[in-house]
Structure 1
């Protein structure tokens, strides 16, 4: 199945703000990813399998690359500086690439929380996607009781929209989500499209 969109290219040079850098996921990240999957918060707020294996993590890295090549998504490994330790991830998935609407999602390893790393990573991805992909709107779907994630998006200027009742099902349970959106300023969106 071919995509009507070209592949999303990795940023050159890599995205970096001095606090975090964003890169591809690598096979040496598998051990961290498997360890993170047992974290209660990851289990509660994400769709990761509860018994994530090394084989599943490796397949996940390959799936992320296929998604990037199809032009539909790009998944960044969030690395703490200095040293490049994997501390989380930020995903950008096209909802409607033709008009520049993308969904964002993110996670942070337990030992890296409380340092605003998700905010840094999400800001970097939104800025990059606005410039390079002509993104005009970012959407984040967050469960109403996920206060930490709500804080991240609200600090970056996302606005709460509709409550999407029973929007997704996880482990047989329907889940509600707030729909948060961040619109690029019109001048920036127009300039990046021009």
Structure 2
């Protein structure tokens, strides 16, 4: 059955962003069962491999029935899933959506999450014509806050005790990014070299 919203494959020298597959289940479970990766999520870490299979089935259903995009973030050389990113709560008439992301602990600290999000944001703004993207981040997750801020997101407010996970209440820092504020080095490079006459 065709998906409701087409989703292009995006790629760079280090990454391949593609549709999730059934054989991604073990790699997806490795991410979502890691308490350190899931520390600031609004749900607890997975405990059963079947949860990864259920999640992939849910993604397939959502892609058929909802305006949602879900990319598997894969290593460009091995095609191993090392993370994922979802664009959801999409309102095409209003030109806005929310974004979420995760990355396996072993692949963090290399700028890969930033690289993946830039490709996705480029598609959302330039390919789909959206004007605003939002992110909900636990304010204690300083690395994630710094990541989105480097992309141009602005912290617009805090919702106190929004989530309760494992008996602990957590706040939400609400971030927003307008198309005109997107920090994209690739676009800056292209603009800086536009119109330069050949020698």
**TM value normalised by structure 1:** 0.84
| Aligned mates of 1:76, 1:50 — CA distance in 2 | 20
Contact 1:161–1:179 (CA under 8 A) maintained in structure 2: yes
- Superposed, 1:14-25 pairs within 5 Å as 14-25=9-20
State the 1:49 CA deviation.
4.3
Instruction: State the alpha-carbon separation in 2 of the partners of residues 50 and 83 from structure 1.
Output: 26
- Looking at structure 1, the residues matched to 89 and 178 of structure 2 have their Cα atoms a distance apart, in angstroms, of 15
Whole-Å separation in 2 of the counterparts to 1:77 and 1:52: 21
User: In the alignment, what sits opposite 2:4?
Assistant: 7
Structure 2 unmatched ranges of 5 or more: 182-199
1:73-118 per-position Cα deviation (integer Å, ceiling 9, x unaligned): 1111101222222110111002433211111110010110111111
- Residue 89 of structure 1: SS of its match in structure 2? strand
Among 45, 51, 70, the alignment partner of 2:46 is: 51
Among candidates 22, 28, 45, match of residue 23 of structure 2: 28
Q: How many residues align?
A: 179
Maintained 8 Å contact 1:37/1:48 = no
Counterparts of 1:154-165 in structure 2 under 5 Å? Answer: 154-165=149-160
- Larger-Rg structure: 2
Instruction: Give the aligned partner of residue 113 of structure 1.
Output: 108
Structure 1 residue 175, shift from structure 2 partner: 1.6
Secondary structure of the residue that 2:39 maps to in structure 1?
Answer: helix
- Does 2:83 correspond to 1:88? yes
TM-score normalised by length of structure 2: 0.82
* C-alpha contact 2:27 2:80 (8 A) present in aligned 1: no
